[in-house]
Amino acid sequence: MSPLDSLTDLLGPDHCLRREADVAPYAVDWRGVYRGQPVAVLRPGRTEEVAAALRRCADLGLAVVPAGGRTSLCGAVVPLAQGPASVVLSLERMNRIRDLDARDMSLVAEAGCVVQSVQKAAEEAGRLFPLSFGAQGSAMIGGVIGTNAGGIRTIRYGNVRDLVLGLEVVLPDGRVLDDLRRVRKDNSGYALRHLFIGAEGTLGVVTAASLKLFPALRRRETALVAIRDPDAALSLLNRCQESGADLVAFELIRSVCIDITLRHGSNVRKPMELTTEWVVLVEAASPHPATPVRESLEAALGEAIEAGEALDVVLCESEAQRENLWTIRETFPEASRHEAPGLPTDTAVPVSAVPEFLRRCGHLIATRYPRGKMVALGHMGDGNIHLSLQAPPGTPRPEWETYGAGFEERVGEIAVELGGSFSAEHGIGQSKLYGMAGLKSPVAVELMRAIKGVVDPEGRMNPGKVLPP
């Protein structure tokens, strides 16, 4: 009898997957870069089952990798290739909305709820769950909490940390921390929920979350703006912020990214002649249909044209036009995978430093990596630009990784030199451990290790992630 049989007994054979073909999808990450071999995949359906599974894993000395939609871009959700025996604990069956209170503007969702289904539940109640990003059709509430996800609306609503009112968490020894409250104020000691947000499953398993909702947006205006350069984008951002239009997104896009999406994406149309190197996708919105959102946005765009910052503008006239723009933006990561291998980064700098960040990265590429093309797009309103060194089409990935050695690290250093972070919204996982070791304050890392030692003294929760060896 295998020790794993006791996990099968606990969850049943359908929910303790051990056959190689069943386990295989959980052994590789979304980008196909990281691989690790879990000994089993556990799929508990209730909080009590998660607790029992963690107790059993403790008895068996197994490491546990919590998994949601498995869209992590930094190797956070697969076991280490050369690590301890691990199970993947998938929350996919815990997908109920436990409660929704439109007056409180809150809902309680289990960790396996897909982000899009939470958006839909909120919408049906006349409310908005504002988290929005390309992987929202797969990413799950536990996963976005694990990574403290951001996305396109962070400029208006904050990232996941700002959206969580309370959590239910199963600790590594099986105890349940029930902090699933909906109150907006609670100063009764340390705000423990924040420890688990962005912890990438290294401290416990989130089983449910109480989340903030907002009034639904009933008036929305969207524009694509050809701009002179990133400095002009910064001026435009400030003009829009001062215009009275409530900005809900402000994305800076290098035009080459649109070309790539038009080449490889389906159901997308060219939105305008791309005559400038950079464009901005801007959206303003209001819960009240009578708010003059369009007028405010038009005024800001008009000023930018007069100042020579904006050279061309497409202000959407229909929902179809708007959807086309957002599809182009959101499907770029997938389209770029078909174009050529890239070396992606995920940094943030103070918003005012974005133009200088791009200048320095452009210089880095021109002088050290001249075979590469800079593709860049991202959340300018948060200073979070996703910049990648893209290979000439047809280059094999291993060759490109060798050529681009040190690129990600240098971009991370540039961000830190400008007062920013080497990891903005995707997390650390395995791919950014270099930054925790070299770019993060040693005192901060020391404190994190101390916390990890108290909550997970045996180091069994998602080992090898977040904290450097």
Ligand X SMILES: Cc1cc2nc3c(=O)[nH]c(=O)nc-3n(C[C@H](O)[C@H](O)[C@H](O)COP(=O)(O)OP(=O)(O)OC[C@H]3O[C@@H](n4cnc5c(N)ncnc54)[C@H](O)[C@@H]3O)c2cc1C
| Contacting positions for ligand X (CB under 6 A) | 30, 65-73, 76-77, 91, 111, 133-135, 139-140, 142-144, 146-147, 149-151, 200-201, 205-206, 333-334, 425-426, 462, 465
C-alpha dihedral sign at 111, 422, 445, 441: negative
Residue sitting closest to ligand X (CB): 143
| Closer by beta carbon to ligand X, 129 or else 369 | 129
Quote the least distance from Cβ 201 to ligand X, whole Å. 3
Phi, psi of 132 (to 5 degrees): -150, 125
Quote the least distance from Cβ 69 to ligand X, whole Å. 3
Report the alpha-carbon distance of residue 377 to residue 254 in Å, rounded: 6
Token reading at 348: 């943030």
Quote the least distance from Cβ 195 to ligand X, whole Å. 11
| Closer by beta carbon to ligand X, 147 or else 276 | 147
Quote the least distance from Cβ 17 to ligand X, whole Å. 16
Of 231, 223, 226, 217, the closest CA to residue 380 belongs to: 231
Which residues lie across from 386 on neighbouring strands?
Answer: 377
| Closer by beta carbon to ligand X, 309 or else 330 | 330
| Closer by beta carbon to ligand X, 143 or else 342 | 143
Report the alpha-carbon distance of residue 93 to residue 383 in Å, rounded: 36
| Closer by beta carbon to ligand X, 360 or else 440 | 440
Q: Exposure of 382 by Cβ count < 10 A (0-12 exposed, 13-18 middle, 19+ buried)? A: buried
Token reading at 390: 């893209």
Token reading at 249: 């997104």
| Closer by beta carbon to ligand X, 65 or else 217 | 65
| Closer by beta carbon to ligand X, 309 or else 346 | 346
Of 361, 467, 351, the closest CA to residue 419 belongs to: 351
Of 67, 75, 36, 34, the closest CA to residue 427 belongs to: 75
Q: Exposure of 242 by Cβ count < 10 A (0-12 exposed, 13-18 middle, 19+ buried)? A: exposed
Q: How many CB atoms lie within 10 A of CB 56?
A: 20
Quote the least distance from Cβ 31 to ligand X, whole Å. 8
Quote the least distance from Cβ 292 to ligand X, whole Å. 30
Quote the least distance from Cβ 140 to ligand X, whole Å. 4
Quote the least distance from Cβ 112 to ligand X, whole Å. 8
Quote the least distance from Cβ 142 to ligand X, whole Å. 2
| Closer by beta carbon to ligand X, 134 or else 383 | 134
| Closer by beta carbon to ligand X, 134 or else 313 | 134
Which residues lie across from 252 on neighbouring strands?
Answer: 280, 378
Q: What is the largest CA-CA distance in the chain?
A: 77
Quote the least distance from Cβ 20 to ligand X, whole Å. 21
Element (H, E) at 208: strand 205-212
**214, 465 Cβ separation under 8 angstroms:** no
Torsion of CA 69, 29, 374, 322, to 10 degrees: -20
| Closer by beta carbon to ligand X, 114 or else 240 | 114
| Closer by beta carbon to ligand X, 133 or else 278 | 133
Report the alpha-carbon distance of residue 354 to residue 231 in Å, rounded: 8
Of 206, 179, 208, the closest CA to residue 89 belongs to: 206
Token reading at 214: 């907002």
Quote the least distance from Cβ 244 to ligand X, whole Å. 27
Token reading at 441: 């304050």
**314, 270 Cβ separation under 8 angstroms:** no
Residue type, 26: Y
Quote the least distance from Cβ 187 to ligand X, whole Å. 25
| Closer by beta carbon to ligand X, 65 or else 257 | 65
Of 254, 264, 402, the closest CA to residue 337 belongs to: 264
